Structure 1
Amino acid sequence: MAISSSKKPVMTLYSASLCPYAQRVRIVLEEKAMEHQVIEVNLKSKPEDLAELNPYNQVPTLVDRELVLYESNIINEYLDERFPHPPLMPVDPVSRAKARLLMLRVDRDWFRPLFDQEALSDRARQKLRDELTAISVIFGGQRFLLGEEFSLVDCALAPMLWRLPSLGIELPDSARPLQGYMERVFSRESFQRSLTPAERSLRI
């Protein structure tokens, strides 16, 4: 959610209303309660300045004064380091490395097959359903992906989980711990404030 102000915001996020990668960044901005503005990009008619800022001409793109960043996980780690409260990454190097590996796996195994292709195959749906069901057990003993604290890994995964119904993926009863985790994440104020009207409509 953009914060309007007569004073020019420090940060500008180029976003798109249904882009799950952009929603990741919107979640972190809301979690940090940072003043920012969102420029809504029509992906079929992108503004010229986006291509000048980002060589891939993609969203999300974050402009913070003279710094321009792209790729959602890179942006989010920058935001967490620059604005350390509340912290969204572990303190020790080993745990941070494990968190980065988890985010890499979320991208490679789930996001790319789901969102970086024109058509989603039934095989991809079934594979994701099975893998989410398999990891559901970990939420029987912890609140979030890294333990008891909400983290960037949760921010990375949440937009995909929100879109499961619109992707035609229904979780089985055996995935109830995962469904409880989803309810905890979706009920966070930062997540709710990150949703665009188009994203809200995905679950109506």
Structure 2
Amino acid sequence: MAASPRLRNALTLFSARDCVVCHRVRLVLAAKGVSYELIPVDPTNPPEDLVDLNPYHSVPTLVDRDLVLYAASVVSEFLDERYPHPPLMPVDPLARARLRLAMLRLEHEWVPHVQAIQHGTKAQAEAGRKRLKELLLASLPLFKASKFFLNTEMSLADCAMAPIVWRLPALGIALPKEAKPIEDYGMRIFRNPGFMRSLTPEEKVLRELPA
């Protein structure tokens, strides 16, 4: 469906105020240095424009003139191709495939636990917290292996992973000392001005950065 006249002249992102998958897209936009209009959305009460544009009424939803895209993975890859500098995917097809598979696993295996902790019942939150911690610790060798997640440069995979790591204190997940490489990884990204630009006011208070 075509964008409404009000949205046709600017890149526009419909985004929840605290949403790990919306944050993923905002981080891509920040890494690219792209200006856009942010429309905060209550997912339980989507605005009329979003209802008209997206049959699922979901966030994130990106509008670029007459193009409407939804699903964080689709939006993220579009932005990386639409704004090629700096590139957020490696040139090598095997490396790209490895990162895409990692992002798929984050989307299907990690994000649901974040959402269960934030929005589920007490039992669902406890189960999600336990499983997410297990996934983090099982991935510790990957955090040790490279400066960024599975890559020597920041990539779309980091745009998916960093919002999860940013939320760990707010999710009630305390990692043991041996998991320090995960926190070190996070700090490398969090101290980047682009990361801070990606945060909504609601997300900025989810953790305190050391001075």
What is the TM-score normalised by the length of structure 2? 0.88
- Closer/same/farther in 2, CA of residues 20 and 9 from structure 1, 3 Å limit: farther
Native 8 Å contact 2:11 2:64 kept in 1: yes
Distance (whole Å) between structure 2 residues aligned to residue 89 and residue 40 of structure 1: 28
CA displacement 1:89-143 (0-9 Å, x = unmatched) = 1112222111111000001111013216523432321222122122223333310
Q: Which residue of the partner structure matches residue 183 of structure 2? A: 179
Unaligned residue ranges in structure 2 (runs of 5+):
1-7
Distance (whole Å) between structure 2 residues aligned to residue 191 and residue 130 of structure 1: 26
Q: Percent identity?
A: 47
Map 1:33-182 onto structure 2 (within 5 A).
33-115=33-115, 118-119=120-121, 120-182=124-186
Q: Which residue of the partner structure matches residue 3 of structure 1? A: none
State the aligned residue count: 197
- Closer/same/farther in 2, CA of residues 141 and 95 from structure 1, 3 Å limit: closer
Distance (whole Å) between structure 2 residues aligned to residue 197 and residue 183 of structure 1: 19
CA RMSD of aligned residues (A): 1.6
Unaligned residue ranges in structure 1 (runs of 5+):
1-7
CA drift of 1:9 comes to 5.4
SS class of match (2:69): strand
- Closer/same/farther in 2, CA of residues 140 and 9 from structure 1, 3 Å limit: same
Q: Which residue of the partner structure matches residue 193 of structure 1? A: 197
Native 8 Å contact 1:129 1:171 kept in 2: yes
Distance (whole Å) between structure 2 residues aligned to residue 121 and residue 22 of structure 1: 20
Distance (whole Å) between structure 1 residues aligned to residue 43 and residue 135 of structure 2: 31
Structure 1: 4+ residue segments shifted above 4 A = none
> 92-101 vs 122-131, which deviates more?
122-131
CA drift of 1:68 comes to 0.3
- Which residue identity lines up with residue 70 of structure 1 in the other structure? Y
Native 8 Å contact 1:133 1:172 kept in 2: no
Native 8 Å contact 1:9 1:36 kept in 2: no
What is the TM-score normalised by the length of structure 1? 0.90
- Closer/same/farther in 2, CA of residues 90 and 57 from structure 1, 3 Å limit: same
CA displacement 1:148-204 (0-9 Å, x = unmatched) = 100000001111111111111111101011111011111111111111111011115
SS class of match (1:75): helix
